[in-house]
Amino acid sequence: MNDPSPHILVVDDHRDIRETLARYLVKNGLRATTAESAAHARKALKAASIDLVVLDIMMPGEDGLSLCRHLVETGSIPVILLTAMADDTDRVIGLEIGADDYVTKPFNPRELLARIRAVLRRTSIVPRERDPIEQEELGFEGWRLNVSKRELLDADGVVVPLSSGEFQLLCAFLKRPKMVLTRDQLLDLTTGRTPTVFDRSIDNQVSRLRRKIEVDPKDPKLIKTVWGGGYMLTADVKGSAE
């Protein structure tokens, strides 16, 4: 298993800061790329597989905060904000937007490195959405789900056709086994929608999925319902991320 070292993108308009930091990170076993503006950062993000972004909030041109917001909303790359401001309100804004962490300048490189490692440790436990390093095949209770072919095989290797909704629901469960997932979470993970007032669509998809993968859909063993909570996949998943 080749495990390339995490790739950090350092975004700061001060050349000495970003280059010193990048050198320090490389010296400590990480890969680093630098960008001097939000625009350059966007290019770098397209061009390389970045695992984490260290981002200066105060930059000329497009604001660091707006890039941060974009990263948090669209992508799934963790962000550590960097700023010269000691003002509390602005510090809070960054976290409220959804940045994963926050460091004020002047910063101690060793602390920043520790924070980078902490964030990477957290986020690498499970591949984030759209993670390119996704497993091809996930196995559970005799079943196998080929993610790239979107095919579900039973114990005998026979294909069981799944609709795309059922496939996405099953994926959501397989990526988070043995975890109680609320309807809202499942709705978000499968369709990205926000729930309407009386939303029973997830119940229905679960019901449909159970009909296909449960031995006895009336007495489900794989997908259990948690009264007042949501649903949970009880099976062990092989080939899942680690």
Partner DNA sequence: TCCGGTTTTCAAGGATCTCTAACGCTGTCA
Partner DNA sequence: TGACAGCGTTAGAGATCCTTGAAAACCGGA
First to last CA, the chain: 12
Within 8 A by CB and 6+ apart from 51, the residues are: 6, 7, 8, 77, 78, 120, 124
Residue 5: contacted member of DNA, its own copies, none (CB under 5 to 8 Å, by partner type): none
56 binding its own copies? (CB under 8 A):
no
Q: What is the separation of C-alpha 207 from the centre of its chain, rounded to a whole number of angstroms?
A: 27
With contact defined as beta carbons under 8 Å apart, do 77 and 51 qualify?
Answer: yes
**Side-by-side strand order, sheet with 159-160:** 137-140, 143-146, 151-153, 159-160
CA distance 126 to 115: 18
Torsion of CA 220, 221, 226, 231, to 10 degrees: -90
Question: Least distance from C-beta 150 to DNA, angstroms?
Answer: 11
137-166 mask for its own copies (x: CB under 8 A)? -----------xxx------------xxx-
Residue 205: contacted member of DNA, its own copies, none (CB under 5 to 8 Å, by partner type): DNA
Question: Least distance from C-beta 192 to DNA, angstroms?
Answer: 10
Among the listed residues 163, 221, 236, 238, the single contact to DNA using CB under 7 A: 163
225 binding DNA? (CB under 7 A):
yes
Beta bridge partners of 233: 223
145 binding DNA? (CB under 7 A):
no
Within 8 A by CB and 6+ apart from 53, the residues are: 8, 9, 11, 41, 45, 71, 77, 78, 79, 80
Residue 18: contacted member of DNA, its own copies, none (CB under 5 to 8 Å, by partner type): none
206-225 mask for its own copies (x: CB under 8 A)? ---------------x--xx
Among the listed residues 49, 204, 221, 236, the single contact to DNA using CB under 7 A: 204
With contact defined as beta carbons under 8 Å apart, do 36 and 13 qualify?
Answer: yes
Stretch touching its own copies by CB under 8 A, among 28-36, 37-45, 58-66, 91-99: 91-99
Residues that bind its own copies (CB under 8 A): 2, 88-89, 91-92, 95-96, 98-101, 108, 110-111, 114-115, 117-118, 121-123, 125-130, 148-150, 163-165, 176, 178-179, 185, 191, 221, 224-229, 232, 234, 236
